Structure 1
């Protein structure tokens, strides 16, 4: 599909009554949710990456309270953390996207990843299997996330991650996966401030950001730097309720956290040769012209920012 066609379809659906439900059905039939096994497998791989980084940072999953920004259609990360033995997982979504059929499908698919979850989290496999058995039975019986997990997963939507109901210092880890690139810059700053408030002394933020043009996933004729061609005014046409992209570069996410007093302990941003070549072959908008190519071309970053208090 040409990326502009997808953009116009999503733009048209946004203001329609029932547009959210129709968009979901289109994703299930024609979009990324067609192959749910592959979709969830990618999410599990992302979770594995996060957990390995957290273990390297000294996070003990079993004693930690996690706060997720952006639950989405199905709660892969909260479920995997629950299975790994996390003390509590609070997950917020600004809009309620959670879909009951995908929640059940996610639980079913996770049954094939129990060994992976145990190994990467350092948990006992028998305990992971026991938790999974209780989770699967409860979800099949129609229990909500809190009921199915004995109160360990707390889901709130609509809920604002810039002004949470959590107490000062209540959380050990704040995290997101492929969310911050879809958030207005001023809201990201507010999220960072709120994260500093709710994090315990020494607590950390882990964010994995996919800061490339997401339209490239549906149109093979463009690459992940394509959206840098456009002015803010021109790009406003293609931003929509279902695929808002702030076009922030990787260093801005990391430096924004550092500017608020976080200590940066991990920054995986890397300038890749193919991205530098793609950038050299295109004309970028004046908004991005002053950014060094080795920064501008980066399309993903994982980073850990610690509350130094």
Structure 2
């Protein structure tokens, strides 16, 4: 599909009544939800990467208090955290997207990933299996994920991650996966400020940011640096309610956390030769001219920022 077609369709759906429902059904038929199992496997892989990074930073899943920004259609990360033995996992979404049918499908499909979850979390497989059996049985009986997890997983939407009702110093980790690239810069700053408030001393933020042009996933004729050709005014034509992209570069997310007072303990941003070659072969809009090419061409970053004890 040509990227402009997708952008136009999503732009229109963002304005018409019931556009969100129609957008979901289009995602099921033609988009990322078309192959549910493949997408779920990708999310499990992302979770295991996060789990390894958190363990390397000294966090232990058993008894962990977590806060997720951006729940999505179904809560893969919160469920995996629950199976790993967290004490509580609160997940916020600005819009209420989570669906009971997809959440149950997620739980049922995770049966094949229990060993992977146990290994990544560094916990015993028997405990993961016991929690899984309880969760699946109760959800198959009609309970929602919060009830079936005995209140360990808490879903709140619509909810604002810049102004939570959580007490000071009440969570050990704040995390997101492929969310911050869809959030305006000033909102990211507000999220970081709120994270600093609710994190316990020594607690961390983990964010995985996919800051490349997402239209490249549907149009093979463009690559992930493609959107740097346009000015903000031009790009506004293609930004929409369902695929807003802030076009902020990887170092921004890390630098903003550092300026907020966090100690950066992980930064995976890497300049890849193929991206640098793509950048050198294209016309970049002058508004990006102040960036070094090595910064401009980075399209993903995982980072951990610790609240100094």
Interval of TM-score (by shorter of Structure 1 and Structure 2): over 0.9
* 1:271 alignment partner in structure 2: 271
In structure 2, how many angstroms separate the alpha carbons of the residues matched to 1:141 and 1:15?
37
Deviation digits for residues 61-98 of structure 1 (CA, Å, limit 9, x no counterpart): 11210000000000000000000111110000000010
| Structure 2 counterpart SS, 1:113 | helix
In structure 1, how many angstroms separate the alpha carbons of the residues matched to 2:135 and 2:21?
A: 27
- Measure, in 2, the Cα distance between the counterparts of 1:140 and 1:34: 23
Written as runs of structure 1 = structure 2, the 5 A alignment for 1:26-37 is 26-37=26-37
Tell me by how many angstroms 1:45 deviates: 0.3
Pairs within 5 Å for 1:30-69:
30-69=30-69
Q: Distance in 2 between matches of 1:20 and 1:111?
A: 31
In the alignment of these two chains, the number of paired residues is 309
Alignment partners' CA distance in 2, 1:189 and 1:52: 26
Instruction: Describe the superposition over 1:11-63 as per-residue Cα deviations: whole angstroms up to 9, x where unpaired.
Output: 01011111111100000011111111100000000000000000000001112
State the alpha-carbon separation in 1 of the partners of residues 148 and 183 from structure 2.
30
1:214-236 alpha-carbon deviations (Å, 9 max, x no partner): 00000000000000000000000
Give the whole-Å Cα distance in 2 for the aligned partners of 1:306 and 1:212.
Answer: 25
User: Aligned equivalents of 2:113 and 2:291: distance in 1?
Assistant: 41
Matches within 5 A, 1:39-188: 39-188=39-188
Task: Kindly report the root-mean-square deviation, in angstroms, between the aligned alpha carbons of the 2 structures.
Answer: 0.6
Task: Give 1:144 shift.
Answer: 1.4
Q: Is 1:15 matched with 2:47? A: no
Aligned mates of 2:241, 2:142 — CA distance in 1: 30
Secondary structure of 1:203's counterpart equals strand
Q: Which blocks of at least 5 consecutive residues in structure 1 are unaligned?
A: none
Query: How far off its partner does 1:142 sit?
Result: 1.6
Partner Cα distance (1:205, 1:94) in 2: 19
Runs of at least 4 residues off by over 6 Å: none
Residue 206 of structure 1: CA displacement?
Answer: 0.2
Q: Which runs of no fewer than 5 residues in structure 2 stay unpaired?
A: none
Alignment of 1:161-240 (within 5 A): 161-240=161-240
Distance 2:188 2:145 in 1: 27
CA drift of 1:100 comes to 1.5
Residues in 2 aligned to 1:140 and 1:14: alpha-carbon distance in whole angstroms? 34
Alpha-carbon distance in 1 for matches of 2:183, 2:141: 35
Q: Deviations over 1:165-210 (max 9, x none)?
A: 1000000000000000000100000000000000000000000000
Aligned partner of 1:302 in structure 2 is 302
Q: Which residue of 2 aligns with 1:255?
A: 255
